[in-house]
Amino acid sequence: MTETASNTATTLTAGLFTPFAVKSLKLRNRFAMAPMTRAFSPGGVPRENVAEYYRKRAAGGTGLIITEGTLIPDPAAGPDTRVPHIHGSESLDGWKGVVDAVHSEGSSIIPQLWHLGVQRGEQPRLNPEVTTVSPSGLGLDGNPLGRAFTSADLDQLVQYWVDAAVNAKSVGFDGVELHGAHGYLLDEFLWQTTNVRDDRFGGSLEARTRFPAEVVAAIRAEVGDDFAIVYRYSQWKAGFYDAKIARSPQELENVLTPLVNAGVDVFHPSTRRHWEPEFPELSGTEGVRGLAGWTKEITGLPTITVGSVGLDKVFDGAWGDDAASGTTGLEPLLAQFEREEFDIVAVGRALLADPEWVHKVQSGRLDDRIAFSRDHITTLI
């Protein structure tokens, strides 16, 4: 890239390097590391190598680190013995080391609180004696798997989410993100394929939103008004990329409004391609607006956009043998930022490949970015 081109790139991206704050979350720029499961925490404990992994991204200029999913205290939260936990003294001590490492580089950090629900499967390695549970005992394909939550289960489940958030605050995290996307537990309540309950948590779209909203409200009551709560949601589900929980802006408003009223501060709508319009059948500017843009328009809250930022392949197959992705320009992202469709951009695989990615964008060294390959999945760098 010539010096002139480098200066132009730096000018175009300047707005993404302005500070941003919401409640306890104070960022030096608009770049976040997207949450990506790494499974490098044996026994659920993040150790020095995990702390160094996140520290490098902070040192490379990323303003906000959103950790990989970390399991809440429910014994049925997940299947993998190497995924970190957000409970237990050893795991919390490990997270304290991660938080301190990221803070030492001037960045903020929040954990992604995670419960897989039915996606835990029938043969989990973690707590295999515990039956997998979900809203209706149905897999993402609609077939029976595990068992459905009872009313008593749900009371305890809310407390597990609250305990996880309180634990996160106690070790110094700057907020929390609830994973309510991709067909995991909270999303399973929202989606009509996995929620056929006949109590107050099932039925209409508004009723299916009730349990996730109650989780948010219970967390808000315990962590206080100033502790930032981020909520990640998606239309698509794992293996069901055409799935929808909301097929119109009005339905999307029906989903999001209860979450806003419950206490969400920032939404993180997860898409596979950030530049794609959410409701392309609409005309004018509405027909080009992405999911983050619609979320911001409807709620008035800050949003995080995500999905193949700076890469030429979407993430399906990203963890397979043919996982390589080349780098691309940031023009679609910048156009969305100019339209005020998002406040923060989360970068995933590009940051796995290149801890210095944000610094390179800031200095206009786009040609120096490292392309993503499968090697970046199998090794914690």
Residues tagged active-site = 184
Which is it for the CA torsion 23, 276, 195, 127, positive or negative? negative
Residues 6+ apart with CB under 8 A from 323: 317, 372, 373, 374, 377
CB 161 within 8 A of CB 77: no
Residues 9, 1 contacting (CB under 8 angstroms) = yes
Instruction: Return the closest-CA partner of residue 350 out of 97, 112, 70, 61.
Output: 61
345-375 burial string, b = 16+ CB within 10 Å, else e?
bbbbbbbbbbbbbbebbbebbbeebeebeee
Give 127: exposed, middle or buried? Use CB within 10 Å, 0-12, 13-18, 19+: middle
